[in-house]
């Protein structure tokens, strides 16, 4: 299944998660299995990779005041479930156990 994911793009060009497991490096072109028990204070416990059915997440800023940049990526997901979220959070999400980043999309 093809989906879209917002990732942090660090100054060195590596990609990483927005919130949970921020130190993780997510390579392009490699299947990764989600870590299921990472600490997530203040966030709902939804283990897995959170991806969107469309390139839309109006509740998340793409550029932060501290200079952090977030980029949309095309990803392939496997072992996923669908989670219906409000349109203000992008609508349909896929929560997957496996993910491979295919491409970083231009801003």
DSSP per-residue string spanning the chain: -EEEEEEEE-TTS-EE-SSTTTT----BT--EEPPS----TTS----SEEEESSS--TTS-SB-TTS-EEEEEEEEEEEEEEEE--GGGTSEEEEEEEEEEEEEPP-
Instruction: Report pLDDT for 38.
Output: 67
Residue 90 lies in a domain: yes
Task: Please name the residue that has the structure tokens 């491409």.
Answer: 103
Q: Is residue 41 part of a domain?
A: no
Read off φ and ψ for residue 88, nearest 5 degrees. -70, -10
How many domains would you assign to the chain?
1
pLDDT in tens, 38-74: 666 777 777 899 999 999 998 988 888 888 899 999 9
How many residues make up the chain in this entry?
107
Query: What are the φ/ψ torsions at residue 91 (nearest 5 degrees)?
Result: 80, -120
Higher pLDDT, 45 or 25: 25
Residue 85 lies in a domain: yes
Domain hosting residue 57, numbered range: 2-14+23-36+46-71+80-104
Does residue 62 lie within any of the structural domains? Answer: yes
pTM of the entire structure?
Answer: 0.88
Whether residue 97 is contained in a domain is answered as yes
């Amino acid at each position: 299944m093809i989906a879209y994911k917002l990732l942090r793009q660090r100054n060195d060009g590596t990609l990483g998660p927005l919130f949970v497991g921020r130190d993780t490096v997510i390579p392009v072109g490699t299947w990764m299995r989600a870590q299921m028990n990472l600490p997530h204070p203040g966030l709902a416990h939804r283990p897995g990779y959170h991806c969107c059915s469309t390139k839309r997440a109006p509740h998340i800023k793409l550029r932060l005041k501290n200079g952090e940049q977030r980029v949309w990526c095309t990803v392939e997901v496997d072992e996923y479930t669908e989670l219906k979220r409000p349109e203000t959070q992008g609508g349909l999400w896929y929560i997957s156990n496996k993910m491979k980043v295919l491409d970083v999309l231009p801003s």
